[in-house]
Each structure stands twice: as structure tokens, then as C-alpha cells.
């Protein structure tokens, strides 16, 4: 089933729910669901990316991300839908659960 971009109301509701129990909050930057994860060191950051990659592959939804030393920056958007969808929030929740 094709994903549809969330409208502004649904987007804000999902974002509020996602951030309800998170120490490091997600935000919307440049039309993408965005978060910067900080870890103790490079090994922990890379380990997080490895575990997150398994979830991304399972969902067939791959993040735009980068790693510099102990920081992993993640941007999620469903390009086919032209915006942020339920799938982006699903992957974001899986990433948060890895912490």
C-alpha cells in the first residue's frame, strides 16, 4: 500500500506522541523528521546505526543519515509520498527504542 504524506495536524500529533517519552526530541527540519543522537563514543554510535539499519531494511525504508564521531544525525522522509508518512514515524520509534 502506498504511503501518503501526513497533513499538518496529523504530523504535529505524531510528533508530540513521539517526543512524549524522549530525552532527545525529534523535530521537523526541511520537510523531514529530524533528530541528532549523541553517544559516549564512536563505537556506540556505529553500533546504533548497525541495529537501526536492520529495522530500516525490515521496513524497506531507509534513512538519510550521517555519523561524525559520537553523533548520528537522522532525517526521515518518504520520497515517493513527497513528505513525512506513518512509515517515517514507525522507523523513528524503532530507532528511539534502541537507546
Catalytically active residues, by annotation = 57, 61-62, 79-80, 88
Q: What angle do CA 36, 32, 53 make, to 5 degrees?
A: 60
CB 91 within 8 A of CB 67: no
Helix axes 86-97, 8-19, angle to 10 degrees: 10
Phi, psi of 91 (to 5 degrees): -65, -40
Amino acid at each position: 500500500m502506498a504511503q501518503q504524506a501526513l497533513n499538518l495536524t496529523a504530523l504535529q500529533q505524531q510528533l508530540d506522541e513521539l517526543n512524549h517519552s524522549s530525552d532527545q526530541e525529534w523535530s521537523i527540519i526541511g520537510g523531514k523528521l529530524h533528530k541528532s543522537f549523541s553517544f559516549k563514543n564512536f563505537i556506540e554510535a556505529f553500533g546504533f546505526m548497525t541495529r537501526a539499519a536492520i529495522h530500516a531494511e525490515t521496513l524497506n525504508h531507509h534513512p538519510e543519515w550521517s555519523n561524525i564521531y559520537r553523533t548520528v544525525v537522522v532525517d526521515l522522509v518518504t520520497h515517493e509520498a513527497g513528505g513525512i508518512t506513518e512509515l517515517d514515524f514507525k522507523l523513528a520509534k524503532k530507532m528511539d527504542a534502541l537507546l
